[in-house]
A = this chain, B = another copy of it.
Amino acid sequence: MEFAPDALTRAKTEAVRAFLDECVIPAEPVLAAEVEATPDDWSPRPVVRALQRAARERGLWNLFLPGVHGGELTNLQYAPVAELSGRSPRLAPVAMNCAAPDTGNMELLAQFGSPEQRAEWLEPLLEGRIRSAFCMTEPAVASSDASQIATGIRREGEQYVINGRKWFATGAMNPDCAILIVMGKTDPEGPRHRQQSMILVPRKTPGVTVVRSLPVFGYDDRDHGGHAEILFENVRVPAANLIGEEGSGFAIAQARLGPGRVHHCMRAIGMAERALDLVRERASERTAFGGLLADKGTVRTWAAESRIEVEALRLLVLKTAWLMDTVGNKQAMTEIQAIKIAVPRAVQRILDRAIQLFGAAGLSHEQPLAEMFAAARAMRLADGPDEVHLAALGKAELRPRTPTAPH
Contacts and interface: CB of A to CB of B under 8 A. Distances in A.
Nearest to A138: B360
A374 interface: yes
B366 A381 contact: no
A397 interface: yes
Contact of A407 (B273, B335, B337): B273
Contacts of A280: 397-401
Contacts of A316: 308, 311-312, 315
So how many copies of this chain end up in the complex? Answer: 4
Nearest to A285: B400
Interface string A192-219: 0000000000000000000000111111
Contact of A318 (B1, B4, B301, B338): B1
Contact of A365 (B6, B215, B389): B215
Contact of A315 (B277, B319, B393): B319
Nearest to A307: B397
A302 interface: yes
A5 B337 CA distance: 23
Most chain B beta carbons < 10 A, residue from A294, A352, A390: A390
Contacts of A366: 139, 214
Interface in A118-172: 137, 139, 141-142, 144-145, 148, 167-168
Contacts of A145: 288-289
A287 B364 contact: no
Contacts of A386: 356
Contacts of A399: 280
Contacts of A304: 337-338, 341, 389-391, 393-394, 397
B303 A398 contact: yes
A369 to B, nearest CB: 10
Most chain B beta carbons < 10 A, residue from A137, A307, A356: A307
Nearest to A391: B300
Given A217-B217, A281-B400, 19 more contacts: A1-B3, A1-B76, A142-B288, A144-B288, A144-B359, A284-B398, A284-B400, A289-B388, A297-B298, A299-B394, A300-B394, A301-B394, A307-B397, A308-B338, A308-B393, A315-B319, A352-B377, A355-B381, A362-B381
11 contacts: A1-B5, A214-B366, A217-B374, A280-B401, A294-B398, A304-B337, A307-B393, A307-B394, A308-B316, A308-B338, A363-B377
> What are the 8 A-B residue pairs with the smallest beta carbon separation, nearest first?
A218-B218, A297-B297, A300-B394, A142-B288, A218-B219, A304-B394, A315-B315, A304-B393
Interface of A: 1-6, 9, 76, 137, 139, 141-142, 144-145, 148, 167-168, 214-220, 227, 273, 276-277, 279-281, 283-284, 286-289, 293-294, 296-308, 311-313, 315-316, 318-319, 322-323, 326, 334-335, 337-338, 341-342, 352, 355-356, 359-366, 370-371, 373-374, 377-378, 380-381, 385-391, 393-395, 397-401, 407
